[in-house]
Amino acid sequence: MSEDAKIKRISGRAVSVRGNDIDTDRIIPARYLKEITFARMGEYPFFDERFDAEGKPKPHPFNDPRYQGASILFVNKNFGCGSSREHAPQALFRFGVHAIVGESFAAIFAGNCVMMGLPAVTVSSAAIDELMQSVENQPSTVYTLDLQEKKLWYGERQIALDLPETYRNALVTGSWDSTAMLRANLDKVKSTAAKLPYMSGFTE
Protein backbone atom coordinates (compact mmCIF):
# COMPACT_ATOMS: atom_id res chain seq x y z
CA MET A 1 0.00 0.00 0.00
CA SER A 2 1.27 3.47 -0.88
CA GLU A 3 2.62 5.51 2.01
CA ASP A 4 0.65 8.47 0.66
CA ALA A 5 -2.61 6.67 1.44
CA LYS A 6 -1.70 6.09 5.09
CA ILE A 7 -3.29 8.63 7.44
CA LYS A 8 -1.61 8.48 10.83
CA ARG A 9 -1.31 12.07 12.01
CA ILE A 10 -3.09 15.29 11.06
CA SER A 11 -2.14 18.77 12.24
CA GLY A 12 -3.75 22.12 11.57
CA ARG A 13 -5.86 24.96 12.83
CA ALA A 14 -9.52 24.33 13.60
CA VAL A 15 -13.02 25.75 13.28
CA SER A 16 -16.10 24.97 15.37
CA VAL A 17 -19.67 24.55 14.16
CA ARG A 18 -21.85 24.32 17.24
CA GLY A 19 -25.13 22.42 17.53
CA ASN A 20 -26.45 18.89 17.96
CA ASP A 21 -28.09 16.86 15.18
CA ILE A 22 -26.63 18.84 12.27
CA ASP A 23 -27.91 16.82 9.35
CA THR A 24 -26.56 16.25 5.86
CA ASP A 25 -29.16 18.58 4.34
CA ARG A 26 -27.67 21.42 6.37
CA ILE A 27 -24.15 20.37 5.47
CA ILE A 28 -25.02 20.41 1.76
CA PRO A 29 -28.50 21.39 0.50
CA ALA A 30 -30.25 18.81 -1.66
CA ARG A 31 -30.32 20.99 -4.78
CA TYR A 32 -26.56 20.51 -5.17
CA LEU A 33 -26.82 16.72 -5.32
CA LYS A 34 -27.73 16.83 -9.01
CA GLU A 35 -24.16 17.66 -10.03
CA ILE A 36 -22.59 14.65 -11.71
CA THR A 37 -19.14 15.04 -10.11
CA PHE A 38 -17.85 16.14 -6.73
CA ALA A 39 -15.56 18.75 -8.30
CA ARG A 40 -17.48 21.80 -7.03
CA MET A 41 -18.69 20.36 -3.73
CA GLY A 42 -16.22 22.52 -1.81
CA GLU A 43 -18.29 25.59 -2.71
CA TYR A 44 -21.42 24.35 -0.97
CA PRO A 45 -20.94 23.28 2.68
CA PHE A 46 -23.52 25.00 4.93
CA PHE A 47 -24.45 27.12 1.92
CA ASP A 48 -27.90 28.17 3.12
CA GLU A 49 -26.51 29.10 6.53
CA ARG A 50 -23.59 31.02 5.04
CA PHE A 51 -25.41 33.03 2.36
CA ASP A 52 -28.77 34.77 2.04
CA ALA A 53 -31.14 34.55 -0.93
CA GLU A 54 -29.11 37.19 -2.78
CA GLY A 55 -25.84 35.36 -2.18
CA LYS A 56 -24.57 37.78 0.43
CA PRO A 57 -22.51 36.24 3.25
CA LYS A 58 -24.14 35.73 6.65
CA PRO A 59 -22.34 35.26 9.97
CA HIS A 60 -21.02 31.70 10.06
CA PRO A 61 -17.74 30.13 11.21
CA PHE A 62 -16.95 29.02 7.65
CA ASN A 63 -17.19 32.66 6.54
CA ASP A 64 -15.17 34.05 9.43
CA PRO A 65 -11.72 35.18 8.21
CA ARG A 66 -10.21 34.11 11.55
CA TYR A 67 -10.80 30.48 10.59
CA GLN A 68 -9.85 30.58 6.92
CA GLY A 69 -7.49 27.72 6.14
CA ALA A 70 -8.63 25.64 9.12
CA SER A 71 -8.38 21.92 8.37
CA ILE A 72 -9.94 20.40 11.50
CA LEU A 73 -13.66 20.72 12.29
CA PHE A 74 -15.08 20.54 15.83
CA VAL A 75 -18.74 19.48 16.13
CA ASN A 76 -21.23 18.29 18.74
CA LYS A 77 -23.58 15.27 18.93
CA ASN A 78 -24.97 13.18 16.07
CA PHE A 79 -23.23 15.16 13.35
CA GLY A 80 -24.10 14.04 9.82
CA CYS A 81 -27.49 12.55 10.64
CA GLY A 82 -30.33 12.45 8.10
CA SER A 83 -29.85 11.14 4.58
CA SER A 84 -26.84 9.02 3.67
CA ARG A 85 -25.59 11.35 0.92
CA GLU A 86 -21.83 11.01 0.48
CA HIS A 87 -21.83 14.56 -0.88
CA ALA A 88 -21.74 15.82 2.73
CA PRO A 89 -18.23 14.60 3.62
CA GLN A 90 -17.12 15.37 0.07
CA ALA A 91 -18.23 18.99 0.48
CA LEU A 92 -16.40 19.35 3.79
CA PHE A 93 -13.24 17.68 2.50
CA ARG A 94 -13.14 19.77 -0.65
CA PHE A 95 -13.70 22.90 1.42
CA GLY A 96 -10.47 22.01 3.23
CA VAL A 97 -11.53 19.89 6.22
CA HIS A 98 -9.12 16.97 6.73
CA ALA A 99 -10.42 15.68 10.08
CA ILE A 100 -13.61 16.04 12.13
CA VAL A 101 -13.67 15.82 15.92
CA GLY A 102 -17.05 15.49 17.62
CA GLU A 103 -19.09 14.00 20.43
CA SER A 104 -20.77 11.51 18.09
CA PHE A 105 -21.53 10.93 14.42
CA ALA A 106 -24.31 9.32 12.42
CA ALA A 107 -23.00 5.87 11.48
CA ILE A 108 -23.39 6.17 7.70
CA PHE A 109 -21.81 9.63 7.67
CA ALA A 110 -18.80 8.35 9.62
CA GLY A 111 -18.45 5.41 7.25
CA ASN A 112 -18.61 7.68 4.21
CA CYS A 113 -15.89 9.83 5.75
CA VAL A 114 -13.55 6.88 6.20
CA MET A 115 -14.13 5.68 2.63
CA MET A 116 -12.60 8.94 1.40
CA GLY A 117 -9.82 9.20 3.98
CA LEU A 118 -11.48 11.77 6.22
CA PRO A 119 -11.11 10.77 9.90
CA ALA A 120 -14.21 11.36 12.04
CA VAL A 121 -13.11 10.83 15.64
CA THR A 122 -14.97 11.20 18.92
CA VAL A 123 -14.05 12.80 22.23
CA SER A 124 -16.01 13.34 25.44
CA SER A 125 -18.59 16.11 25.83
CA ALA A 126 -16.29 17.91 28.24
CA ALA A 127 -13.41 17.65 25.78
CA ILE A 128 -15.39 19.04 22.84
CA ASP A 129 -16.52 21.96 25.00
CA GLU A 130 -12.88 22.61 25.88
CA LEU A 131 -11.76 22.36 22.26
CA MET A 132 -14.49 24.66 20.97
CA GLN A 133 -13.69 27.23 23.63
CA SER A 134 -9.98 27.00 22.88
CA VAL A 135 -10.34 27.64 19.14
CA GLU A 136 -12.90 30.39 19.61
CA ASN A 137 -10.61 32.11 22.10
CA GLN A 138 -7.46 31.56 20.05
CA PRO A 139 -8.11 30.74 16.35
CA SER A 140 -4.38 30.42 15.62
CA THR A 141 -4.05 27.34 17.87
CA VAL A 142 -2.66 24.28 16.10
CA TYR A 143 -4.14 20.87 16.94
CA THR A 144 -2.62 17.46 16.20
CA LEU A 145 -4.54 14.20 15.90
CA ASP A 146 -2.52 11.00 16.21
CA LEU A 147 -4.62 8.07 15.03
CA GLN A 148 -2.05 5.50 16.08
CA GLU A 149 -1.87 6.78 19.65
CA LYS A 150 -5.55 7.84 19.67
CA LYS A 151 -4.60 11.21 21.14
CA LEU A 152 -5.24 14.86 20.30
CA TRP A 153 -2.72 17.49 21.34
CA TYR A 154 -2.71 21.26 21.48
CA GLY A 155 -0.27 23.32 23.52
CA GLU A 156 0.41 21.37 26.69
CA ARG A 157 -2.97 19.62 26.60
CA GLN A 158 -3.52 16.01 25.60
CA ILE A 159 -7.00 14.57 24.99
CA ALA A 160 -8.02 10.95 24.34
CA LEU A 161 -9.89 10.37 21.10
CA ASP A 162 -11.70 7.33 19.80
CA LEU A 163 -12.96 5.76 16.58
CA PRO A 164 -13.95 2.20 15.63
CA GLU A 165 -10.88 0.00 15.29
CA THR A 166 -11.86 -1.05 11.76
CA TYR A 167 -11.90 2.63 10.74
CA ARG A 168 -8.65 3.42 12.54
CA ASN A 169 -6.89 0.46 10.94
CA ALA A 170 -8.17 1.37 7.46
CA LEU A 171 -6.87 4.92 7.82
CA VAL A 172 -3.43 4.17 9.29
CA THR A 173 -2.72 1.29 6.88
CA GLY A 174 -4.09 3.12 3.86
CA SER A 175 -6.62 0.39 3.09
CA TRP A 176 -9.43 2.97 3.05
CA ASP A 177 -8.28 3.83 -0.50
CA SER A 178 -9.91 1.11 -2.59
CA THR A 179 -8.47 2.49 -5.83
CA ALA A 180 -4.94 2.34 -4.42
CA MET A 181 -5.59 -1.21 -3.22
CA LEU A 182 -6.70 -2.26 -6.70
CA ARG A 183 -3.63 -0.68 -8.30
CA ALA A 184 -1.33 -2.34 -5.76
CA ASN A 185 -2.86 -5.72 -6.63
CA LEU A 186 -3.28 -5.19 -10.36
CA ASP A 187 -1.86 -8.57 -11.34
CA LYS A 188 -4.34 -10.35 -9.08
CA VAL A 189 -7.18 -8.22 -10.44
CA LYS A 190 -6.25 -9.11 -14.02
CA SER A 191 -5.93 -12.80 -13.13
CA THR A 192 -9.35 -12.85 -11.48
CA ALA A 193 -10.92 -10.87 -14.33
CA ALA A 194 -9.60 -13.35 -16.87
CA LYS A 195 -11.51 -16.14 -15.11
CA LEU A 196 -14.84 -14.32 -15.19
CA PRO A 197 -17.09 -15.37 -18.10
CA TYR A 198 -18.55 -11.89 -18.52
CA MET A 199 -15.04 -10.45 -18.85
CA SER A 200 -13.57 -13.01 -21.25
CA GLY A 201 -16.62 -13.80 -23.37
CA PHE A 202 -19.47 -16.23 -22.94
CA THR A 203 -19.54 -19.61 -24.64
CA GLU A 204 -22.65 -21.25 -25.94
10-residue mean pLDDT series, the chain (204 residues): 82 98 96 88 96 96 98 98 92 97 97 95 98 98 97 97 96 79 60 70 54
> Domain segments of the chain: what residues?
7-173, 176-204
Roughly how many angstroms between the first and final C-alpha of the chain, as a whole number?
A: 40
pLDDT of residue 186: 61
Question: Is-contact 123 162, C-beta < 8 A?
Answer: yes
What span, in angstroms and rounded, lies between the C-alpha atoms of 47 and 105?
A: 21
Q: Does domain 7-173 have CATH number 3.20.19.10?
A: yes
- Asked if residue 113 lies in contact with residue 176, where contact means CB atoms within 8 angstroms, the answer is no
pTM as predicted: 0.87
Q: What one-character-per-residue DSSP string does 108-132 give?
A: HHHHHHHTTT--EEE--HHHHHHHH
